Amino acid sequence: MAFEKHAVRLQEEGVSVLTKALGRGGWFADVFCEQSVYHTGAYRLDANRRQRPFALQRDVMEGTSVRVLTETDEHVATVDAVTPRAWQQAAADVATHRNGEATVRPVAFHQAFQTPALPPDAPDAISETEKQALMREAAEAVWAFDDRVHHVSVHYHDHTRRTALVTSDGTIAIRTAAWFGLRVAVTLHGKNGVVTGDAIDGSTGGFGHFFHHPPEGLAQAAVAQAQHRADARPLKAGPWPVVMAAGWGGAWLHEAIGHTLEADVMADHGLGEPVAAPEVTLVDDTTVPDARGAFPVDDEGTPAQRTPLIQNGMLCGFLTDRRRAHHYGLPCTGNGRRQHYRHVPLPRMTNLLLEPGTVNPADLMTDITDGLFVQTFGQGQVQPDGTFSLTVREGFRIENGHRTHPVTGVVVHGNGWKSLRNIAGIGNDFMLDTARGLCKKNGQVVPVSVGMPTVLLTQMEVLPDENG
């Protein structure tokens, strides 16, 4: 393909491009080339099984970013092309922003990273007909699970990203990655009116994923969530003991804690300070196979790694990109990520994981007389200090150690750092969620995964969901 040819050419001409970019000063420079291909589509059926016309949309984004870091600033120039001429143009443009003299010289490339080729059934190789058939199959399966369904919509998306990066300290990285997902949303006429439910599945591999996870299962999960909400009851406001389910429950830690551990935010806590219950060990691990935030090298050429953030309750690290690591004198953790070439890298989470404990998850509810079990979180809001409000999409009342009736119309509210100290038990049932994670920050969206075991918090504030 043309992009692969340009990647090879970049390896040949990268040093000269970087030299031009650094001609007027800077301690680091990189050239980042990208080609991203997106497919999106929707399929809808109403209660009479009337199909609305649908088609997949294909979009392609291609371009180059040349960036120079100085002691005081970050200078970037972008061009919507990946040719040698575009690289030279961007390098000349970025050099015009400075009046100094070169402080470093690019070195020959001595550290190389290249990801394996995509599988034969990668999403970009699958025909539009096959993708439409997948959506149709998911939509038509819904009515087998409940005849009260009024409407179903199925949304499909995929993203194939090819990048080539060279850096002034001698790194070249050629990467290819793909993500795809399917979302089924239903409306159902319940006894309390119209309710909604949805379910999401996806992968970073090939379309063979749907042989092991057929779309009928996704349809059933969406209907089950709607049924749950149809039968749910409200919960009175107040402080409650809360148990969070394994897997997607880790979204709570991502929002309430993870962002405050990114070096452009950085929590007001010192390294070595106790910040959580002693059972808590939290890591960001870019090396997890098949996770949405996994890669061999970040968007600045730093190798992927496992970064401990909290170890046995003690704060032990922050997530950095090159710029913040240099500024604060911290290790560079390989968390410099950008949505695409028109954005600058930022310190971002990849796969945030709470390590498992030793407790049987069922035992975490044994001593709870009255409490809340959170199966799935919905949308939420988080403030820079870690104060959060997260919608409970699926929940259950806990009574005398057992889950009883479904709960709806509530949010859990609190401060992430205080909540960490309220963790009273961690299950041994760690689960990684790879189906749905997208993280938005400063206008940039990147794929992520979260994972955790079942967790018991002694107290969280439960409030009515004003938007529910």
pLDDT in tens, 281-313: 999 999 998 899 999 999 999 999 999 999 999
* Residue 427 confidence (pLDDT): 96
* Residue 290 confidence (pLDDT): 86
**Residue 55 pLDDT exceeds 90:** no
The model's confidence at residue 1, banded by pLDDT at 50, 70 and 90, is low
DSSP 232-300: -B---SEEEEEEE-SSGGGHHHHHHTGGGGBTTT--S--TT-B-S-TT--EEEETT-TT-TT--SB-TT
Q: Which of 49-58, 283-292, 293-302, 453-462 has the lowest mean pLDDT?
A: 49-58
Burial bucket for residue 29 (CB in 10 Å: 0-12, 13-18, 19+): buried
Q: What are the boundaries of each domain within the chain?
A: 2-230, 238-464
Query: What are 74's two structure tokens?
Result: 């970050």
Q: Which of 24-33, 156-165, 185-194, 348-357 has the lowest mean pLDDT?
A: 185-194
The model's confidence at residue 387, banded by pLDDT at 50, 70 and 90, is confident
**Residue 381 pLDDT exceeds 80:** no
Mean pLDDT value of segment 121-147: 92
Beta strand residue intervals within 338-447, DSSP E? 346-347, 351-354, 370-382, 387-399, 402-407, 410-415, 423-426, 431-433, 438-441, 444-447
Amino acid at 286: T
308 to 151, 269, 314, 351: CA distances (angstroms)? 45, 15, 10, 12
CA distance 436 to 223: 18
Q: Answer for the pair 85, 91: CB distance below 8 angstroms, yes or no.
A: no
* Residue 467 confidence (pLDDT): 67
Q: Answer for the pair 242, 256: CB distance below 8 angstroms, yes or no.
A: no
CA distance 319 to 259: 9
SS3 85: helix
* Residue 224 confidence (pLDDT): 93
* Residue 102 confidence (pLDDT): 65
Give the max Cα distance, the chain: 73
Mean pLDDT value of segment 415-441: 90
CA dihedral 242, 247, 252, 255 (to 10 degrees): 180
Helices (H), 102-208: 128-141
Mean pLDDT value of segment 387-404: 91
* 97-118: pLDDT as tens digits: 777 766 788 888 888 898 888 9
- Helix-helix angle 84-95:2-21, to 10 degrees: 20
Q: Answer for the pair 353, 314: CB distance below 8 angstroms, yes or no.
A: no
* Residue 468 confidence (pLDDT): 57
Q: Which of 188-192, 219-223, 309-313 has the lowest mean pLDDT?
A: 188-192
* Residue 30 confidence (pLDDT): 97
Q: Answer for the pair 292, 179: CB distance below 8 angstroms, yes or no.
A: yes
Instruction: Please enumerate in sequence order all residues whose Cβ is within 8 A of that of 451, keeping only pairs 6 or more positions apart, or say none.
Output: 247, 250, 351, 352, 353, 354, 430, 431, 432, 433
* 139-154: pLDDT as tens digits: 999 989 998 898 999 9
CA distance 278 to 328: 28
**Residue 218 pLDDT exceeds 80:** yes
What proportion of the chain, given as a percentage, has pLDDT over 90?
67
The arrangement of secondary structure in 2-230, i.e. its CATH architecture, is 2-Layer Sandwich (3.30)
**Which has more pLDDT, 47 or 204?**
204
* Residue 115 confidence (pLDDT): 87
* Residue 240 confidence (pLDDT): 95
**Residue 443 pLDDT exceeds 60:** yes
